[in-house]
Every structure is written in structure tokens, then in C-alpha cells.
């Protein structure tokens, strides 16, 4: 079961994946850590996984970790610079590139370092959820595929009727289109896609836009 919360000023989707046995995975805690904690309803978080490193998807991470303790934080190695010692510099550059410096100034807080650097084909710690490296929105953008539930947590790679923006320093329109076509649209047509913003969709619904 996947629970989705829309949080923060630009409506980032936080996904909580119930793993059974009182365990859960949190994906992209963008803001409002108190709401995320409430939605967990006492379940043990085995991992906090990030589809990419942008501040709007990680802003609730410090508050969440302050309560949960040393829960492992997983992100692709190419986006690890958005966290830890390089986090401020990297996010500032990204949000300045897209004309959103004011968002950065208002919501930035120091980020923990990544604990787990994930790569294509890995499974997220404590789960059977597979990592698909889908660069384009950022160099380290990933989607998380839950095969038994026919579900894909797509971050800012694919939206309902659209794709993630590619106008900052580590993004690429060519790469994101390739990622969508080669990594996402090859999944079963009934795969439900949970994007980083907005409403869910399916692989079948998005295929006409890209093929």
C-alpha cells in the first residue's frame, strides 16, 4: 500500500510505502515532517529514499531524522552532492538556475550526508524495491519500481502528461527523454506511476506522448 501526501508550498508528493510487519519506506520527504510522522502511524522506517536531491524533495529530511534517529538515507551517487557538506552550494546553484533563489533562501536547512549510495539495479535498503537510474531532471535522478504492486515512484522524471524540467546545470532534455523511453515505458502498461508532483498516471497513458 502506498500513501501519498502533498506537502510544502509547491505540492511535493511524499510517498510512504507500507512494507508489512509494521515497517515502512519514506520517499522524498519534501516538507512538513510532522505530517509525515503522523501518517507513519507508529511504523518503523527502514529507509528514507530520495528520487533526487533537490531541496523541494528533501526539505523535511532534517526534521524527520531528528525524530526518527539514524534511519539510512539513500540517494544515487550522482546526486549525493545535494546533501551533506556540498548540499548548500549545490542546491543554491540549482534553484538560482531556475529563478527560484527565494525558495532556497526560505527553506534551506543543513542536510545530513547520504548513508547509502544507490545505483541502477540495486534494491532499496530493507525492501525489494528496485532502483531505476533515470537521469535527465538531475544526473542522479531515479525511479523506484515496486514490481509486486505494479507501481513506480517516478520523482520528477515523469508526470501525468509531462516530464521533469531540464533547465539547470545537471539536467538534460535528451537524457530525460531517453530515460522515459528506455526505462519507464518498457514497464507493463498497467504500471501505476506516482510522480513527484501532481496526480498519478499509468505507463499506458503516457506512452502516446513519447513514442
**pLDDT above 90 (res 211):** no
- Residue-wise pLDDT tens digits, 54-98: 999 999 999 999 999 999 999 999 999 999 999 999 999 999 999
Show the cell assigned to 162.
Answer: 509531462
Given phi > 0 = left and psi -120 to 50 = alpha, else beta, which region is 161? left
User: What whole-number percentage of the chain has pLDDT above 90?
Assistant: 100
User: What whole-number percentage of the chain has pLDDT above 70?
Assistant: 100
Rounded to 5 degrees, φ, ψ at 6 are -95, 120
In angstroms, the CA 61 to CA 79 distance is: 15
pTM comes to 0.97
Show the cell assigned to 11.
Answer: 505540492
Quick one: 76 exposed, middle or buried, by C-beta within 10 A (0-12, 13-18, 19+)? buried
In angstroms, the CA 52 to CA 129 distance is: 16
Q: What pLDDT does residue 134 have?
A: 98
Number of domains in the chain: 1
Q: What pLDDT does residue 201 have?
A: 98
Show the cell assigned to 23.
Answer: 515497517
In angstroms, the CA 22 to CA 19 distance is: 7
Q: How confident is the model at residue 120 (pLDDT cuts 50, 70, 90)?
A: very high
CATH number at residue 144: 3.60.15.10
Which among 30, 37, 42 has a CA at the least distance from the CA of 6? Answer: 30
Q: What is the average pLDDT across 112-133?
A: 97
Strand order from edge to edge, sheet including 151-155: 130-133, 142-146, 151-155, 192-195, 201-202
> What domain range is 201 assigned to?
2-210
Which among 198, 98, 191 has a CA at the least distance from the CA of 138? Answer: 98
Torsion angle of the four alpha carbons 7, 185, 205, 52, in this order, in degrees rounded to the nearest 10: 10
| Alpha-carbon separation of residue 186 from 17, 115, 211 (angstroms) | 23, 31, 11
Q: What is the average pLDDT across 30-59?
A: 98
Amino acid at each position: 500500500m502506498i500513501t501519498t501526501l502533498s506537502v510544502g508550498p509547491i505540492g511535493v508528493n511524499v510517498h510512504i510505502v507500507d512494507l508489512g510487519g509494521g515497517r515502512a519506506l519514506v520517499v522524498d520527504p519534501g516538507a512538513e515532517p510532522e505530517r509525515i510522522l503522523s501518517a507513519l502511524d507508529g511504523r518503523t522506517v527502514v529507509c528514507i529514499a530520495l528520487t533526487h536531491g533537490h531541496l523541494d524533495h528533501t526539505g523535511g529530511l532534517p526534521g524527520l531524522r531528528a525524530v526518527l534517529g539514524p534511519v539510512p538515507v539513500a540517494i544515487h551517487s550522482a546526486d549525493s552532492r545535494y546533501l551533506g557538506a556540498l548540499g548548500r552550494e549545490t542546491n543554491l546553484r540549482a534553484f538560482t538556475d531556475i529563478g527560484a533563489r527565494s525558495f532556497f533562501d526560505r527553506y534551506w536547512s543543513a542536510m545530513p550526508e547520504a548513508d547509502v549510495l544507490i545505483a541502477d539495479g540495486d534494491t532499496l535498503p530493507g525492501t525489494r524495491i528496485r532502483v531505476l537510474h533515470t537521469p535527465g531532471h538531475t544526473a542522479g535522478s531515479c525511479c523506484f519500481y515496486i514490481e509486486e504492486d505494479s507501481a513506480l515512484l517516478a520523482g520528477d522524471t515523469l508526470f501525468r502528461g509531462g516530464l521533469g524540467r531540464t533547465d539547470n546545470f545537471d539536467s538534460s532534455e535528451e537524457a530525460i527523454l531517453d530515460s522515459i523511453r528506455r526505462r519507464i515505458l518498457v514497464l507493463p502498461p498497467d504500471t501505476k506511476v506516482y510522480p513527484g508532483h501532481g496526480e498519478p498516471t499509468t505507463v499506458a497513458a503516457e506512452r502516446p506522448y513519447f513514442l
